[in-house]
Amino acid sequence: MNSEHKMPSIWKILVLLLTMSFLMVASVSAQDVAVGQATATVQTPLTVTAIAALAFGTIFQGVPVSVAETDASAGIFTMTGQAGSGISLFLQLPEYMSTASGDDRMIISFSTTDCAIDTTANADPTTFGSGWTAQNPFNLPSGVIIGTASTQTSLFLGGQVLPSVDQTAGAYSADIILTVAYNGT
Amino acid sequence: MKKYSLVLFFCLIFLSAHLSAQNVTVNNNLTFGTVFPGIPKTISKTTAGLAAEFYVSGTAGNEVTIDFALPTYMNLGASNMQLIFRETDCAIDTSATPDQSSPEFNNLDPWHTLTYRIGSNGLYIWLGGIIVPGLTQTEGSYSSNIVITVTYTGN
């Protein structure tokens, strides 16, 4: 009599366990999701500024004038960015200076030693700090970095103008373009 | 009574066998490290410690499908940086001795569902990618989520 009463209870337990097992199978084997991440740290963008023009001042017809890269009249560019990061530099140099009206031109030339690169905070060509002196502006050195102490590097540029004997009087100018890019080093 | 105990026993065995279904974990994030504005950077799926690594555990022989939800940008506040996953940027190894440098299944497309069987040592998934910082990319730390979904097919 007692065993007959127990039977239905055992069946209930079995049905319950079977249901649970199927439910768990369904839930456990369905799917799993994980979330990973992609991470990166971007360094400081580069900034290039033309601080001072390469200034030959007043010149005379037929008299060449040179400005050294260590002269106060040298052209000055400053570059700021991530301290210690490698940069590549390229100068686009003019062959002539022109009057504003374009009716006359004057030869400008650059020697293979007319450039200096200073990786200290100094932006004064007359008080060179540390870096590269007497460099070829047409082939700037590799291995240049943004200064570690100041996050700045400066480029100083000298040159020479060769006015002709019948050079038209007036102001002459030309663009000097410095392109700087990180090279990943 | 013995008969019912036996049924109960098999139920528990059945239950425990299926409790060991697949589980996916993140072993390593996709880490680009320091990058420069204007200079793209590639992380290969075979580069240990930098490529993303996911591990799928479960019963050997079970077939699973693997789906990624991949970001197209990394973010830093309102700044975005392009993130590219090519159709060969994923690799999988289900062998007993997984080798990231020479994975069993290489050059897989993470943009499509991948179907493989879990091996005796689980299933390893590696993922590489490329970021393309702009010339004036805002400096700072960028991140984005890579969501992986692993589903047991029942096969």
Query: What is the ipTM for the molecules in this complex?
Result: 0.84
pLDDT at residue A184, rounded to an integer: 85
With respect to residue A52, please indicate whether it lies within any of the assigned structural domains. yes
| CATH number of the domain bearing residue A73 | 2.60.40
Q: How far is CA A150 from CA A79, A83, A124, A157, in A?
A: 11, 7, 14, 21
Torsion of CA B57, B62, B65, B69, to 10 degrees: -10
B22, A82: Cβ pair inside 8 Å?
no
Q: What is the pTM of this model?
A: 0.74
How many CB atoms lie under 10 A from the CB of residue B82?
Answer: 14
How many CB atoms lie under 10 A from the CB of residue A23?
Answer: 10
Element (H, E) at B87: none
CA A24 to chain CA mean position, Å: 58
**B29–A contact, CB cutoff 8 A:** yes
With respect to residue B9, please indicate whether it lies within any of the assigned structural domains. no
Best residue of B6, B30, B36 to probe chain A, by most A CBs closer than 10 Å: B36
Q: How many domains does chain B have?
A: 1
Q: How far apart are CA A71 and CA A158, in angstroms?
A: 8
What is the percent of chain B where pLDDT is above 90?
83
**Å between B151 CA and nearest CA of chain A:** 4
Q: Give helix then strand counts, H and E, for chain A.
A: 1, 13
pLDDT tier for residue A15 given thresholds of 50, 70 and 90: low
> Chain A neighbours among B 40-99 (CB < 8 Å)?
41, 52, 54, 56, 71, 74, 76, 81, 83
With respect to residue B36, please indicate whether it lies within any of the assigned structural domains. yes
pLDDT tier for residue A1 given thresholds of 50, 70 and 90: very low
Q: For residue B28, list chain A residues with Cβ-Cβ distance below 8 A.
A: 36
With respect to residue B3, please indicate whether it lies within any of the assigned structural domains. no
pLDDT at residue A13, rounded to an integer: 65
Q: End-to-end alpha-carbon separation of chain B, Å?
A: 36
User: What does the pLDDT average to over A158-174?
Assistant: 97
With respect to residue B102, please indicate whether it lies within any of the assigned structural domains. yes
With respect to residue A2, please indicate whether it lies within any of the assigned structural domains. no
The domain in which residue B58 lies consists of: 21-152
| CATH number of the domain bearing residue B116 | 2.60.40
With respect to residue A177, please indicate whether it lies within any of the assigned structural domains. yes
Q: How far apart are CA B110 and CA B90, in angstroms?
A: 6
Task: Using the predicted structure, report yes or no on whether residue A18 has a pLDDT greater than 90.
Answer: no
With respect to residue B12, please indicate whether it lies within any of the assigned structural domains. no
Query: Is B110:B85 a contact under the CB 8 Å cutoff?
Result: yes
Task: Using the predicted structure, report yes or no on whether residue A6 has a pLDDT greater than 60.
Answer: no
B145, A35: Cβ pair inside 8 Å?
yes
With respect to residue B47, please indicate whether it lies within any of the assigned structural domains. yes
Torsion of CA B17, B20, B22, B27, to 10 degrees: -160
Q: For residue B150, list chain A residues with Cβ-Cβ distance below 8 A.
A: 31-34
The domain in which residue A142 lies consists of: 47-182
pLDDT at residue A35, rounded to an integer: 96
